Amino acid sequence: MKVTSLSSGSSGNCYLVQHDGTNVLIDSGLTATATERHLRSCGVAIQEISAIFLTHDHSDHLRSAGTLSRKWGIPVIANEKTLKASRYRWDKEVRVEALKQAQKSGVLTEPRGFYNTEVLPVGGVKSLGGLEVSSVPVSHDAADTVCYTFRGGGQQGIILTDLGCATEPIFEPLYHSDLIVLEANHDLQKLFKSNRPQFLKSRIASDHGHLSNEQSAKILCRVIEWSGLNHTVWLAHLSEENNDPKNAVKYMNMCLENHDIKNFMLKVALRDKPSLTWDAQDSLFQAQMLFDF
């Protein structure tokens, strides 16, 4: 199994998960053009994408899912409430686009193609080839937000962004994940000193908003204390204004060291471009090396 972060953050979230000839996207929050370009840079054509799994209906996660589904027939998989809310947004965008075109051409045309959608209930599992994707509920202020774990060839990954607090159902999947993509959205001090409107700051810091560095560090400490050091961890969905990669890593390492977890490698998934790739073969090889010595 191979996982690539194509983009992470409020300007667009999109991850490519590949296993045994099956390619899926977890979220599709970039424009269709950027998604196709980033995929090409990973050697994958958009026609090779078997499905798009949506975590929730915020635009930084679903931006191009409707367009890609209509254009290429790619199934968009999510729970019922998320699909309903997403369709509402996509339809609105299509109407606006059709009106723009009509102003130029003088002719109002019906948009072509249809959405290919499939319901995956919260807690459900979907198998595609040898890849198994499971949905796990999280606390976030969209229609019905979930995160996903994906399993293939005996390895597991989890993408856990867009949650306001840690709830019990996330821990079991975290303990068993070789790759953990974990939100570290903001530094709480920075957030409260920022010029953002008060209601927005309260929303971000609430139990239905986003994880602060401190909350993420607590989650990570619990995971490592329960299940050991053998996880690859990427920090993700960092706020451009209220966090920065260096400080997030420094703060998280300080928290880990307070729990006697030293020299733990943390990487940061970047905004607007492909930044990190995890290959299960490499981590299996590393585990084998550790075992050998």
Binding site for Zn ion (CB under 5 A): 58, 60, 162
Nearest-approach distance from CB 269 to Zn ion, in angstroms? 12
Residue type, 292: D
Of 36 and 60, which has the nearer Cβ to Zn ion?
60
- Report the residue number, 241 or 257, with the smaller CB distance to Zn ion: 241
- By beta-carbon proximity to Zn ion, the closer residue of 36 and 162 is 162
Shortest Å, Cβ 255 to Zn ion: 23
Burial code (b: 16+ CB inside 10 Å, e: under 16) for 180-195 equals bbbbbbbbbebbeebe
Rounded to the nearest whole angstrom, what is the least distance from the CB of residue 130 to Zn ion in the complex?
Answer: 29
How far apart CA 284 and CA 276 sit, in angstroms, is: 18
Minimum CB separation from Zn ion for residue 237, in Å?
A: 6
- Using Cβ positions, the residue closest to Zn ion within the complex turns out to be 58
Please state the closest distance from residue 61 (CB atom) to Zn ion, in A: 6
Closest CA to 266 of 225, 224, 209, 227: 224
Q: What's the token pair of residue 260?
A: 């006697």
Provide, rounded to whole angstroms, the least separation between the CB of residue 185 and Zn ion. Answer: 9
Q: Which is nearer to Zn ion, 56 or 151 (by Cβ)? A: 56
- The two tokens of residue 233 are 């961890």
DSSP SS3 for 72: helix
3-state secondary structure of 286: helix
What is the token pair recorded at 86? 């997403």
Is the C-alpha dihedral spanning 64, 67, 71, 74 positive or negative?
positive
- Residue in this structure with the two tokens 């995929």, named with its chain if needed: 39
Beta strand 49-53 with 76-78 is parallel
**Comparison of 60 and 178: residue with beta carbon closer to Zn ion:** 60
Q: How big is the chain, counted in residues?
A: 293
Cβ pair 213, 252 in contact under 8 A: yes
Nearer to Zn ion, 162 or 187 (CB): 162
Q: Residue type at 28?
A: S
Cβ at position 261, least distance to Zn ion in Å: 28
Of the pair 60, 144, the CB lying nearest Zn ion is at 60
